[in-house]
């Protein structure tokens, strides 16, 4: 592809700004200063902008710590989307969430433009665990543990939920581990036993735990190994 497009695909620069950077001698290809924006480069070429090496990826895999007030859909008339927290060069790839979170839920969201990868994470058949930290309005009863392990009926659903593991930490705080992701599932599960979720945070998907140094609203790209490990991990 053209060098200016390569830069536009891998940085926050527009094609116009990429051409200016090339003209100003800020771009190197395989150790040589680039002179024209239309020279052809491939993924094996070593391209640098200033001191930054640029890597062109076939697919992007991103971990985001979602704050309250953002939605995981690609567009929404009422709320900002999680993609707006990402730089422009990633936004144009039209990433989607591999498992959405509600607008008032925080925590780990995995974003990608790789449809097969996201399907392998979200499909109940793949048995990828999703771990949630739950705070409830009323005390959490020991009876919930067996109820969730057996599966519960949710409003307007004909099938019981798959077995889930509940770990009670104190009167109103617990960890819930699921292998499916139905609409508002955690909240509806607690509603089915007469309780209400007042705060919800996803801390882990499959083998990937939300990094402790990733603040709300922050993100980082996953390495190829991390992305592969998420898919290959099993219960």
Domains of the chain, first to last: 3-54 (3.10.290.10), 58-123+213-235 (3.30.70.580), 129-205 (3.30.70.1560)
What value does the mean pLDDT take over residues 9-28? 91
List of residues 6+ apart from 200 with CB closer than 8 A: 102, 104, 105, 106, 107, 132, 133, 134, 135, 186, 187
45 catalytic residue (yes or no): no
Q: Which is catalytic among the residues 102, 113, 120, 157? A: 102
pLDDT of 34-84, one tens digit each?
999 999 998 889 999 998 898 877 888 999 999 999 999 888 899 999 999
What value does the mean pLDDT take over residues 160-182? 96
């Amino acid at each position: 592809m053209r060098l200016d497009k390569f830069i536009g695909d891998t940085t926050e620069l527009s094609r116009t700004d990429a051409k200016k950077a090339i003209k100003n001698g800020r771009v190197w290809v395989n150790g040589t200063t680039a002179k024209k924006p239309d020279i052809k480069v491939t993924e094996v070429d070593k391209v640098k902008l200033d001191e930054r090496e640029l890597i062109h990826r076939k697919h992007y895999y991103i971990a985001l710590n979602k704050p309250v007030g953002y939605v995981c859909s690609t567009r929404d008339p009422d709320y900002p989307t999680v993609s707006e927290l990402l730089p422009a060069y990633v936004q144009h790839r039209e990433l989607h969430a591999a498992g959405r979170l509600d607008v008032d839920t925080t925590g780990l969201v995995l974003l990608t433009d790789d449809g097969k990868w996201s399907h392998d994470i979200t499909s109940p058949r793949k048995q990828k665990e999703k771990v949630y930290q739950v705070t409830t309005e009323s005390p959490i009863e020991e009876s919930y543990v067996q109820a969730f392990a057996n599966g519960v009926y949710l409003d307007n659903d004909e099938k019981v939920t798959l077995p889930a593991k509940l770990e009670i930490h104190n009167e109103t705080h617990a960890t819930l581990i699921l292998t499916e992701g139905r609409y508002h599932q955690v909240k509806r599960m607690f509603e089915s036993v007469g309780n209400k979720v007042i705060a919800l945070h996803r801390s882990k998907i499959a083998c990937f735990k939300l990094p402790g140094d990733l603040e709300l609203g922050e993100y980082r790209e996953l390495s190829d190994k991390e992305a592969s490990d998420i898919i290959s991990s099993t219960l």
